[in-house]
C-alpha cells in the first residue's frame, strides 16, 4: 500500500493549502429489498460505518422503480477515514485518473467496477459483486469561514482550482493524471 507523502513546508499561507473535505461512496442498485441490503452490507464492511439509503425521485415503469422506493446506499467519510479509503480506491484503479474526472471547483469522481478490486477485500458469494462511485470534495481550510459565517460567496483565493486539485492529488497520493 502506498504511503501518503507529507506536504512540503514552504513560506506560503497554510490556509491556502488544499485538503480533502469528504469522500462520498455510492452504490446504486436500482431496486429495494435484498440487493440493496447486500450493497449496504458491502459498504459497511469496506468502511466500518453504517450507510444511508437513498430514495428514487420519480417513478420509472420500464425499470420497475417507484417514487420514494429505496434504490441506493451512500456513505460519507471525512478526515483520516477518507484518506485511508482513498488510498485503497486509487490502488483499485491502478493509481491513474483522467484529468476529465476533475470539475471546475477542483472536486473529482471516479468509479470502481468491482468492490473486490479494493485491496484486502475478499469475495463473498452470499453478497455478490457491486460497483461503486467515489466522489471526492477538496477545499481549502479558509473555505470553512463561508460555512461558519453563512456567506453567499467567498474570494477567489479561497476556492480550489482544478490545477491546484490535480497538483494536490498528484503530490499527496502519487497518482498519475492522464491528460
Domain edges within the chain: 19-178
* 134 vs 17, higher pLDDT: 134
Q: Read off the pLDDT of each residue in 131-136 and give the average, rounded to a whole number.
A: 90
Local confidence band at 19 (pLDDT 50, 70, 90 cut-offs): confident
* 70-77 and 19-28 beta bridge pairing: antiparallel
Query: Is 53:72 a contact under the CB 8 Å cutoff?
Result: yes
Nearest to 171 by CA among 14, 34, 54, 2: 2
Query: ∠41-19-177 over CA atoms, to 5°?
Result: 80
Burial, 158: exposed, middle or buried (Cβ in 10 Å; 0-12, 13-18, 19+)? middle
pLDDT for position 69: 74
pLDDT for position 54: 78
Supply the mean pLDDT for the chain.
Answer: 82
Local confidence band at 9 (pLDDT 50, 70, 90 cut-offs): low
Percent of the chain residues past pLDDT 70, beyond the cut: 85
Which range is most confident: 46-60, 101-115, 139-153?
Answer: 101-115
Cβ-based neighbours of 93, under 8 Å, separated by 6 or more: 110, 112, 117
Phi, psi of 16 (to 5 degrees): -100, 0
Q: How far apart are CA 176 and CA 84, in angstroms?
A: 18
Give me the CATH topology for the region 19-178: 50s Ribosomal Protein L5; Chain: A, (3.30.1440)
Cβ-based neighbours of 31, under 8 Å, separated by 6 or more: 64, 65, 69, 71
pLDDT for position 149: 66
Local confidence band at 120 (pLDDT 50, 70, 90 cut-offs): confident
Burial, 123: exposed, middle or buried (Cβ in 10 Å; 0-12, 13-18, 19+)? exposed
pLDDT for position 23: 92
Per-residue pLDDT tens over the stretch 143-176? 666 666 666 667 777 788 888 888 988 988 888 8
Q: Read off the pLDDT of each residue in 20-40 and give the average, rounded to a whole number.
A: 85
Cell numbers describing residue 47: 468502511
Local confidence band at 66 (pLDDT 50, 70, 90 cut-offs): confident
Q: How far is CA 177 from CA 24, 52, 174, in A?
A: 21, 32, 9
Amino acid at each position: 500500500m502506498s504511503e501518503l507523502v507529507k506536504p512540503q513546508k514552504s513560506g506560503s499561507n497554510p490556509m491556502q493549502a488544499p485538503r480533502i473535505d469528504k469522500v462520498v461512496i455510492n452504490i446504486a442498485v436500482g431496486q429495494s429489498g435484498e440487493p440493496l441490503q447486500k450493497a449496504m452490507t458491502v459498504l459497511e464492511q469496506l468502511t466500518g460505518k453504517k450507510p444511508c439509503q437513498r430514495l428514487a425521485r420519480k417513478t420509472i415503469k420500464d425499470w420497475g422503480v417507484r417514487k420514494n422506493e429505496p434504490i441506493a446506499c451512500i456513505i460519507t467519510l471525512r478526515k483520516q477515514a477518507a484518506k485511508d479509503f482513498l488510498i485503497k480506491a486509487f490502488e483499485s484503479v491502478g493509481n491513474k485518473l483522467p484529468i476529465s474526472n476533475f470539475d471546475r471547483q477542483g472536486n473529482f469522481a471516479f468509479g470502481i467496477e468491482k468492490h473486490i478490486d479494493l485491496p484486502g477485500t475478499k469475495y463473498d458469494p452470499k453478497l455478490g459483486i457491486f460497483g461503486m462511485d467515489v466522489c471526492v470534495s477538496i477545499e481549502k481550510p479558509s473555505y470553512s469561514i463561508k460555512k461558519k459565517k453563512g456567506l453567499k460567496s467567498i474570494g477567489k483565493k479561497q476556492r480550489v482550482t482544478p490545477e491546484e486539485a490535480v497538483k494536490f492529488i498528484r503530490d499527496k497520493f502519487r497518482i498519475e493524471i492522464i491528460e
